[in-house]
Amino acid sequence: MNFYNLTAHELLSLLDQKKVISEDVLKSLKERVSLVNKKTNAFIREPQVSSPAKGAFGIPVGIKDNICIADELVTCGSNILKGFRPPYDAGVVEKIKAHGSEVWGGLNMDEFAFGSSCESSFYGPTRNPWDLERVPGGSSGGSASAVAAGEAVWALGSDTGGSVRQPASFCGVVGLKPTYGRVSRYGLVAFGSSLDQIGPITKDVTDSALLLNMIAGFDKRDSTSVDTPVPDYAKALVKDVKGLKIGIPKEYFIDGIDPEVASAVHEAIDILKKEGAVIKDISLPHTEYAVATYYIVATAEASSNLARFDGVEYGLREVPDRVRKTPLIDMYETTREKGFGDEAKRRIMLGTYVLSSGYYDAYYLRAQKVRTLIKQDFDKAFGECDAILCPTSPTTAFKINEKVNDPLAMYLSDIFTIPANLAGIPAISIPCGFDKKKLPIGLQIMGKPFAEETLFRISYTYEQNTPWHLERAKL
């Protein structure tokens, strides 16, 4: 039996009924990775699990390659972390193991999570299982591709500006960015510290709720972790949206959006309306400034976070043949030149510039002020509605190399996902159809802080009224 195509909750049911054993599931996954990873490149390294877990959640969880797993290679898709093995587990990895599951590590990603297509990895691009000539989205493209291709039953990604939701949209799976502070960032290699959040990528909404149950919760080792009770998200999986007010922001239905994407989202709105949801037109007026604001804040934080990669304590160390300045400075420069890729260098330079003397007030400080205005837009909107609905991405998956030489076009891929990160609110992407090329379309639902239950309730209701979550890429 091809267990790799089943959802986690379907597998858990079979395990509970003793109709299958964990060894069978693990064998099926290993065979699937060996068969299709040469096509998708979803895994940088084929995952190593010597024996299956014995606990109630004994199904391996795919791990993006910027989440630390003790004594296993973690590279962030970069040459500069060549050979690095963390001495500790990330907070989410500890929780997964505590639930009796194993980690299925080494999922490919844009280098240091810098990208929207999973093309900037030192280990080569990941491909979309629905069309191998197209990108899976980024930066968690390996996680989304693996789940869509059956190489992982479920997986974790990290979302800084849409890096869980946009690849989920492109690959026809479910991607959730929890509220900032809901899931520990301890052991997540930082990109943008005020924006990053680990989130689940799954085949359906039920799996998303189950995986969030596993990883959510306070962690005193993470100064941004919020000490607030964690509900049982599975209890929110009810087919009922009667009376819920869902806002439709006019700024997210812009000129240039793919007509097939807009049509699929409007059909989704109609389905929720028929189920009893109250649909309201709303405005988020500062949306147009979100991309510019994000790429100032995110690059500033990235340049600060990446300063630690210098060849001294871990990872790559390159020493030039002759001394040009001083041995130490030469080692720094040569290591970073050979260790970082083009996109990483671009973001480091942009971030250093906006934080430099004379430009800090003009760029970084002003961006933080606009970020506050964007957050206030959401606060006002949530005074009128329970959730906000829009497309996840303005297009379906684009072709590999199509935007690689046009960074601005690439950055605009995240135009609908970035605002949720700037505001720190939860957001989920679920499949809502296909275009004429049989490429998946994603529907995004955003909620109030720590209102993931509302997102699950709406998503589950929509999912149970449509067939999209049952579709599988044919590889």
Cis ω before 139 (30° cut-off from 0) = yes
Residue 337 has pLDDT above 50, yes or no: yes
Confidence of residue 169 (pLDDT cuts 50, 70, 90): very high
Residue 49 has pLDDT above 90, yes or no: no
Q: What is the pLDDT of residues 413-431, one digit of tens each?
A: 889 999 999 999 999 999 9
Q: What are the residue boundaries of the structural domains of the chain, listed by start?
A: 3-246+383-470, 288-369
SS3 string, 105-165, reads EEECCCHHHCCCCCCCCCCCCCCECCECCECCCCCCHHHHHHHHHCCCCEEEEEECCCCCH
Q: Is 369 a catalytic residue?
A: no
Exposure string over 456-466, b if 16+ CB within 10 A, otherwise e: bbbbbbbbeeb
Q: What is the pLDDT of residue 57?
A: 56
Residue 21 has pLDDT above 90, yes or no: no
- Percentage of the chain surpassing pLDDT 90? 87
| φ/ψ of residue 440, rounded to 5 | -65, 150
Q: Which amino acid is at 447?
A: G
From the centroid of its chain, how far is CA 362?
Answer: 31
- In eight-state DSSP terms, residue 364 is I
Average pLDDT over residues 3-13: 94
The catalytic residue among 143, 163, 184, 208 is 163
Which residues, in sequence order, are CB contacts of 439 under 8 Å at separation 6+?
Answer: 128, 130, 131, 134, 170, 396, 397
Q: Which amino acid is at 194?
A: S
Helix, strand, coil percent content, the chain, rounded in steps of 5: 40, 15, 45
Q: Is 64 a catalytic residue?
A: yes
Residue 55 has pLDDT above 50, yes or no: no
Average pLDDT over residues 299-320: 94
Work out the mean pLDDT of the chain and round it to a whole number.
Answer: 94
The catalytic residue among 117, 120, 139, 459 is 139
| CATH number belonging to the domain at 3-246+383-470, selected among 3.40.50.2300, 3.40.366.10, 3.90.1300.10, 3.30.428.10 | 3.90.1300.10
Please state, in angstroms and rounded to a whole number, the distance separating the CA atoms of residues 314 and 306: 13
Which residues, in sequence order, are CB contacts of 438 under 8 Å at separation 6+?
Answer: 130, 131
Asked whether the beta carbons of 238 and 457 are under 8 A apart, the reply is yes
Confidence of residue 411 (pLDDT cuts 50, 70, 90): confident
Residue 384 has pLDDT above 80, yes or no: yes
CA distances from 298 to 92, 109, 196, 355, 358 (A): 23, 17, 10, 11, 19
Asked whether the beta carbons of 439 and 471 are under 8 A apart, the reply is no
Asked whether the beta carbons of 341 and 80 are under 8 A apart, the reply is no
Average pLDDT over residues 301-321: 93
Residue 408 or residue 102, greater confidence: 102
List the beta bridge partners of residue 346. Answer: none
Q: Among 61-70, 153-162, 220-229, 323-332, whose mean pLDDT is lowest?
A: 323-332
Greatest CA span in the chain, whole angstroms?
72
Please state, in angstroms and rounded to a whole number, the distance separating the CA atoms of residues 73 and 119: 20
Q: Which amino acid is at 101?
A: S
Q: Is 303 a catalytic residue?
A: no
Residue 36 has pLDDT above 90, yes or no: yes
Residue 53 has pLDDT above 60, yes or no: no
Please state, in angstroms and rounded to a whole number, the distance separating the CA atoms of residues 24 and 251: 49
- State pTM to two decimals: 0.96
Q: What is the pLDDT of residues 96-123, one digit of tens each?
A: 999 988 899 899 999 999 999 999 999 9
- In eight-state DSSP terms, residue 255 is T
